[in-house]
Structure 1
Amino acid sequence: MSTQDNKPVDQRGKLDETPFECQITKDGRVMLFWFGKHVKTLVGKEAQKFITRFESADDAEAQLLMAKATGNFKRGNERRD
């Protein structure tokens, strides 16, 4: 997979495992999950922008969108239960 400017994305194939899921609520919020754990909630304009892009994306693009939306959330807290 590569971006529009031909820079490689997901070189290690981590997104092939489909680690991300999302849930769109009735009030327009988007809840993002990583391996079943809630990691971020998008609201307002950010949520609407995400939904618009998500609806036209294939599975691989959707995983990339969710990964970019969550940002760099793993900093020592991902092992807590």
Structure 2
Amino acid sequence: MNAPGGFAYKQRSDGTVIITHHGRAATTLRGGRAAKFLAEVDDDPQQVMARWTGAYKIGNERTAKNHPRNQRR
């Protein structure tokens, strides 16, 4: 399944799920984790795949970027 957000997943016949990001394997899920992912992926596939791979932004990037500790001098 391909989508415009860059994430896609493929379910193999042995139950393994491979999540890719822009064509590169991001993570492989097996067993119970794969089943849990497949039950959850119907809601918002891009968001769910980003969360399962850990490749998502949590909203505080701008705050951290502007923090004095992170300013280059």
TM-score range, shorter chain: 0.5 to 0.7
Determine helix, strand or coil for the equivalent of 1:27. Answer: coil
1:18-53 deviation line (CA, Å, top 9, x unaligned): 110000111111100000111110011110000111
Show the 5 A alignment for 1:3-22. Answer: 17-22=4-9
TM-score after normalising by structure 2 = 0.65
Whole-Å separation in 1 of the counterparts to 2:12 and 2:5: 21
TM-score, structure 1 as length reference: 0.59
Q: Percent identity?
A: 31
**Quick check: which has more Rg, 1 or 2?**
2
Aligned match of 1:36: 23
- Structure 1: distance between partners of 2:27 and 2:50: 11
Aligned CA RMSD, in angstroms, stands at 1.6
Which segments of structure 1 move beyond 2 Å, counting only runs of 4 or more? none
Distance between the aligned counterparts of 1:23 and 1:35, measured in 2?
13
Structure 1: gaps spanning 5 or more residues: 1-16, 73-81
2 CA distance for matches of 1:39 and 1:50? 14
* Partner in structure 2 of residue 45 of structure 1: 32
